[in-house]
C-alpha cells in the first residue's frame, strides 16, 4: 500500500468533525485501527479503516456503548437485536423517569395544599416499594434490555447453576420474540398467599410479559417468564 493511499489523523478528524483524542481512545479500546508508516510516527488510516470509523460513529450516534460495539464487531450479537435492546432500555428509562415525575408532582401538590409530606398520610406511589420491589424493578429492566450481567447479580447460586446464562438467554429470546415492540413497565404485584413471590407485568405491542420472581431473603431463587393478555 503506497503512502498516498493513507489519510493523516488530522484529515480524518476534519472529515468527521471529531478530535484526535477520540480516535486514539477508540484505538486503545480496540474498536478501530490505524497505521504507522516508517516515514512518520503519526497515525494514518486507509480507506477501509476510514469506512470502519464511519460505521463506529454511526453506532455511537445510536447510543450504543463501546462494549455493545465490540460485541457487534466480534459477531457475538446481532445489529437488529442490539438496536431493539437499546430502544427498550431507553423506553424503560423514560417510564422510570415518568414515575419519578409523578411522585414529585404528588409531593408538590401536598406541599401546595399545606400538608406535611413526612406524615404517614403521605404514601406516594413509591411508598409501597421496598428493597425487594426495587430488585424486581432492576431485574425487569435488565430482562427487557438484555442485560444478563445485572440480572445474575441477584440470582442465588442454585438458580445460577440450574439456569446458566446461555440457557437463560435462549429462553429470553424465545419468550420475547412474539411480543413485538416494548411499550412500558406495568404493575408490580405481590402474591396474595406467598410473601416471597412477586409478579411484574410489562406491556409490549402484541402481548404482555409476566415475570414471576421467587425470593429467598433478597436473592432470587426462582424466575419464570410468561404472557398475559392486555
Q: Are residues 114 and 214 in the same domain?
A: yes
Q: What is the CATH number of the domain that holds 35?
A: 1.10.1660.10
**63, 143: one domain:** no
pLDDT computed for residue 152 by the predictor: 95
- Alpha carbons 210 and 201: distance in angstroms, whole number: 5
**CATH number for the domain that contains residue 112:** 3.10.450
Same structural domain, 68 and 83: no
| Pair (91, 47) in one structural domain | no
On whether both 91 and 163 belong to a single domain, the answer is: yes
Q: What pLDDT is recorded for position 122?
A: 53
In this structure, the answer to whether residues 94 and 200 fall within a common structural domain is: yes
Single residue among 38, 73, 108 that ends a domain in this structure: 73
47 plus 146 within the same structural domain: no
Task: Spell out the residues 6+ positions from residue 105 whose beta carbon is closer than 8 angstroms to its own.
Answer: none
Number of domains in the chain: 2
Q: Does residue 164 share a domain with residue 105?
A: yes
DSSP 18-82: --HHHHHHHHHTTS---B--TT-SS-EE-HHHHHHHHHHHHHHHTT--HHHHHHHHTTSS-HHHH
Pick the last residue of a domain from 43, 73, 103: 73
Are residues 150 and 88 located together in one domain of the fold? yes
If asked whether residues 93 and 113 sit together in one domain, one would say: yes
H/E segment holding residue 210: strand 208-216
Distances (CA, A) of 87 to 97, 106, 172: 15, 29, 17
How many residues does the structure list for the chain? Answer: 230
Per-residue pLDDT tens digits of the chain, which is 230 residues long: 445 688 999 999 999 999 999 999 999 999 999 998 777 678 899 999 999 999 999 999 998 988 889 989 888 778 888 888 788 777 777 777 777 787 788 888 888 888 877 765 555 444 456 788 889 988 998 999 888 999 999 999 999 999 999 999 999 999 998 998 888 888 888 888 898 999 999 988 888 999 999 999 999 999 999 998 76
Tell me, what DSSP letter sits at residue 119? S
Whether residues 83 and 67 fall in one domain? no
Q: Which grid coordinates belong to 229?
A: 393478555
Burial class (CB in 10 A: 0-12, 13-18, 19+), 38: exposed
Question: Of 21, 40, 73, which closes a domain?
Answer: 73
Looking at the structure, tell me whether residues 104 and 210 fall in a common domain. yes
Instruction: Tell me which residue range forms the domain holding 25.
Output: 3-73
For residues 45 and 34, is the Cβ–Cβ distance under 8 A? yes
Amino acid at each position: 500500500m503506497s503512502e498516498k493511499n493513507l489519510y493523516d489523523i488530522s484529515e480524518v478528524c476534519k472529515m468527521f468533525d471529531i478530535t484526535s483524542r477520540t480516535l486514539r481512545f477508540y484505538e486503545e479500546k480496540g474498536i478501530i485501527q490505524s497505521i504507522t508508516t516508517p516515514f512518520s510516527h503519526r497515525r494514518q488510516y486507509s480507506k477501509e479503516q476510514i469506512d470502519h470509523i464511519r460505521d463506529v460513529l454511526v453506532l455511537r450516534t445510536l447510543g450504543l456503548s463501546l462494549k455493545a460495539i465490540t460485541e457487534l464487531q466480534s459477531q457475538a450479537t446481532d445489529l437488529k437485536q442490539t438496536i431493539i435492546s437499546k430502544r427498550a432500555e431507553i423506553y424503560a428509562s423514560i417510564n422510570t423517569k415518568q414515575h419519578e415525575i409523578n411522585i414529585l408532582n404528588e409531593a408538590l401538590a401536598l406541599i401546595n395544599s399545606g400538608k406535611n409530606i413526612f406524615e404517614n398520610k403521605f404514601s406516594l406511589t413509591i411508598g409501597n416499594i421496598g428493597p425487594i420491589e426495587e430488585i424486581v424493578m432492576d431485574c425487569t429492566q435488565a430482562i427487557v434490555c438484555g442485560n444478563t450481567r445485572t440480572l445474575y447479580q441477584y440470582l442465588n447460586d442454585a438458580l445460577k447453576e440450574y439456569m446458566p446464562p446461555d440457557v437463560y438467554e435462549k429462553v429470553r429470546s424465545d419468550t420475547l420474540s412474539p411480543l413485538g415492540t416494548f411499550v412500558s413497565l406495568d404493575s408490580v404485584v405481590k402474591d396474595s398467599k406467598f410473601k416471597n413471590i412477586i409478579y411484574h407485568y410489562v406491556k409490549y405491542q402484541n402481548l404482555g410479559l409476566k415475570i414471576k420472581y421467587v425470593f429467598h431473603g433478597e436473592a432470587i431463587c426462582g424466575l419464570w417468564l410468561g404472557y398475559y393478555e392486555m
